[in-house]
Amino acid sequence: MGQRSGRQERSKKPEVALSETMEAEIEVQNNKEEIEEVKAKNQKLASVFGVADLKNEAVGLYNLGQTCCLNSLLQVFFMNIRFTRILRRITVPSPARRRSSVPYQMLLLLEKMQCGKCKAVCPTDLAYCLAEHRVKLFVQYDAAQLFLTLWNLLKKQMKNPELVEELSDLYTIRIQEHLACQKCSFEIKSNSTMLTLPLPVLDANSHRLKTLEHCLQYFFLPEKLTGQNMCFCQQCGRKTPFLQSMELVHLPQTLTLHLKRFCFERSSRTHKLSHSLPFPQELDFREVLTENQCQADDREKATWQYELFAVVAHSGYSSCGHYCAYIRSLTECKWYCFNDSQVCQVSWDDVKCTYGRSNLNWRETAYLLFYMKKHPQQPSPGVSECL
C-alpha cells in the first residue's frame, strides 16, 4: 500500500507543484497588498503627534451614555506626550483583529481627534471595542478601577515587548513590603508594583488628613497587625503580632495618586468624603518621606521632583455623579478643562476648586491626581515641557 500510494503521489506531482506555485503566488500577492496597506496606515498614523500639541483648538469627546469617566481618562492619556509616542509605535493588527484591539482603536481615535476640525468627536468604535472586553456602556465606573482596566488591556494587547516595557516604566510604581514578627526576629520581604498609590483621606481614627503630603506620609507609616489581623510566624509556630511597613523603591515618569474619597460603611453602603484636601502644584518626595520609608539611591531620589499634570475630578454622590478632567498642556503650559464634548481653558484657581468642601457634596472633588517628573533621567528629545 505504501509503494502504491507513493507511485500515485509521484504521478500527480506536476499538478500538485503547479497548484502550490499558484497558491504561493496568490499568497505573496496578498501579503504584498497587506504590507502596502500596513505601510500606508503607518505613514498616516506617523503624522499623529497627539492632542497634547494644543497649537490647534482642543477636541472634546461626546458622552455616549455615562462615558464621562472613560472620556476623562482618555484625555489624560492623550495629553501625555510620552504615552502618545508609545501608542503611535504599536504594530497594526491584522484586519480581523483591529475591531477588538484597544491600543489600535485608541490610536484611531487619537488620529480622529488630531486631524478632525470638529470641536468634539464620538469615541464610538473604541466604546464598542471596550464592550467586547466587558467594559460596557451605560454603567457608572469608578475612575481608579477603569484606569487599571484600560491599563491592563493596553499592556495585554501590545505585541511589542519593548513598548510594553516602556509603558510600564512610564506609569509603574515599585515598592518593597516588610512583615516583621514582634515576638522574634522573623521577617518577610517582598517586592511589588502598583499602578496608583491608593491614599486614604482619613486616618485610623477617622480624623481627616489635612493635605496631600499628610496622606502620603500616613500611607507609608508602619502598621501594627494585632488581634484578628495577626499573621502566622514560621519561627514562632503560631499567630503573632506583626509590623507591616512599605519602602518606596522607584517612582515612574507619570505618577498616579488615588484619593480614596469613597468610604465603605459597615452597612455595606458607601458615601463620599468631600472635605477640603489641598494638593500642591509641585511635589518633592524627598521632603515628604523619611529615609526609613525610601529604598533608593541618591540618583533615583534626585528624580523624585514632580509637577501636577492632570486632575480627574468627581462631582456628585457615590451612587451617581459626573467626571471631568483638568489637564495642563505640556506644550502650552496652560490648564484646560475637558468636560466630555466641552473643552475650555481654565486657571490654577479653577483647578484648586477641586480641593473639596464638606458642605457641598455635589461640588467637584479631585479623585485621581497625575504628577509628571520635573527632571526625568532620560528626557525625550524635542519635547517642549513647562516643567
Give the pLDDT score at 320: 81
Same-domain status, 283 and 345: yes
Is residue 48 very low, low, confident or very high in pLDDT (cuts 50, 70, 90)? Answer: very low
Grid cell locating 162: 519593548
Helix axes 143-157, 102-115, angle to 10 degrees: 110
Give the pLDDT score at 35: 46
Give the pLDDT score at 51: 43
Check which CATH number belongs to the domain holding 212 and give it.
Answer: 3.90.70.10
Q: In this structure, is residue 181 part of a structural domain?
A: no
Same-domain status, 97 and 210: no
Same-domain status, 282 and 360: yes
For the residues 121-129, what does the mean pLDDT come to?
A: 96
Domain count, the chain: 2
Pairing of strands 120-121, 60-61: parallel
Instruction: Give residue 275's domain range.
Output: 198-221+253-377
Strand partners, 323: 314
What one-character-per-residue DSSP string does 86-152 give? Answer: HHTTSPPPPGGGSTT-HHHHHHHHHHHHHH--SSEE--HHHHHHHHTTT--SS----HHHHHHHHHH
Give the residue, 373 or 268, on which the prediction is more confident. Answer: 373
For the residues 186-206, what does the mean pLDDT come to?
A: 93
pLDDT in tens, 210-250: 999 999 999 999 999 989 989 999 889 899 999 999 999 99
Same-domain status, 164 and 205: no
Q: How many angstroms separate the CA atoms of 329 and 310, rounded? A: 9
Query: Which residue from 176, 207, 378, 208 is spatially nearest to 278, judged by alpha carbons?
Result: 208
Say which of 294, 322, 324, 337 is annotated catalytic.
322
Residue 76's φ and ψ, nearest 5 degrees, are: -65, -40
68 is catalytic: yes
Q: In this structure, is residue 184 part of a structural domain?
A: no
Give the pLDDT score at 41: 45
- Check: CB of residue 210 under 8 Å from CB of residue 277: yes
Q: In this structure, is residue 263 part of a structural domain?
A: yes
250 is catalytic: no
Give the residue, 232 or 29, on which the prediction is more confident. Answer: 232
Same-domain status, 328 and 270: yes
- Check: CB of residue 179 under 8 Å from CB of residue 237: no
Q: How many angstroms separate the CA atoms of 326 and 310, rounded? A: 6
Same-domain status, 160 and 206: no
Give the pLDDT score at 263: 81
Say which of 68, 181, 233, 324 is annotated catalytic.
68
- Strand positions, DSSP E, the chain: 60-61, 120-121, 173-181, 187-194, 197-200, 223-225, 231-233, 238-240, 242-250, 254-260, 262-264, 270-272, 282-284, 305-316, 321-328, 335-339, 342-346, 365-373
Same-domain status, 125 and 216: no
